[in-house]
Structure 1
């Protein structure tokens, strides 16, 4: 792992900003805002709590971000007709335009990766990428190594 980090740092590669194609969008939107728009594009309409869960963000953080996106007319937020306590969030036409641009750029990146690899390498890459993503995102789901669960008896007084 140290070699991989050294490779990124010494060779000037940017592991977290994969391509200059995304710079244009990143100048207009934060990474979190763009991710929010892409989630809404994928799922359609989501409640605020569903969106917060998908993003892994607290509702308070999401509320301010949704407010910014709403001011820029990229999303709209409306009360649910069935339960007026719930706000539903969905893309506007402008928001759909932004996500279409982002998806084209992402697909262009994927095309470049696909052209650089043989079909066997691509299959291996995909398998490893999914495995790495699961390891990074689901740390709490990983089995605890060398840790024993100790049960304690807690006395309850009558």
Structure 2
């Protein structure tokens, strides 16, 4: 079955990516923090609860992540003027600079990984991965559609 072979290759790519990002982003940034900064740069300000689905983690973990980011002046948290229960997270200038640095590091990694593959096959790979990304999740064992 191709799934076992795919799993091994996918795991190696993810491991290589994580090692590369961890070493190149350190000590001021992590890959999860880069994800948060990207989202904030696109949307100006977000509530912490809106970040959790993008990070596939718990609200408590998001709070800890934001604490570290605020300590390093990557983000600021402010209470909503009309509803003090709401907290808005936004990116700082330092955060914007770190986002640019992080995106270049990520881009360089993938450019190097894709370099041995022809332009035509890169397009094919993107097409196939796009198909995988929108494929419906398999139904759990024993369930009926």
TM over 0.5: yes
* TM-score band, normalised by shorter chain: 0.7 to 0.9
Maintained 8 Å contact 2:24/2:105? no
SS of 2:69's partner is helix
Structure ID, larger Rg? 1
**Match of 1:16?**
15
Task: Indicate the larger mover: 116-125 or 69-78.
Answer: 116-125
Structure 1 gap segments, 5+ residues each: 136-140, 151-158
Q: What does the per-residue CA deviation read over 1:57-77, in whole Å, with 9 as the maximum and x for residues that have no partner?
A: 222211111111111111100
Give the structure-1-normalised TM-score: 0.70
SS of 2:73's partner is coil
Give the structure-2-normalised TM-score: 0.75
Structure 1 residues 107, 46: closer, same or farther in 2, change over 3 A? same
CA–CA distance in structure 2, aligned partners of residues 104 and 98 of structure 1:
10
Q: What RMSD over aligned residues (CA atoms) do the two structures have, in Å?
A: 3.1
SS of 2:90's partner is strand
| Number of matched pairs | 142
Structure 2 gap segments, 5+ residues each: none
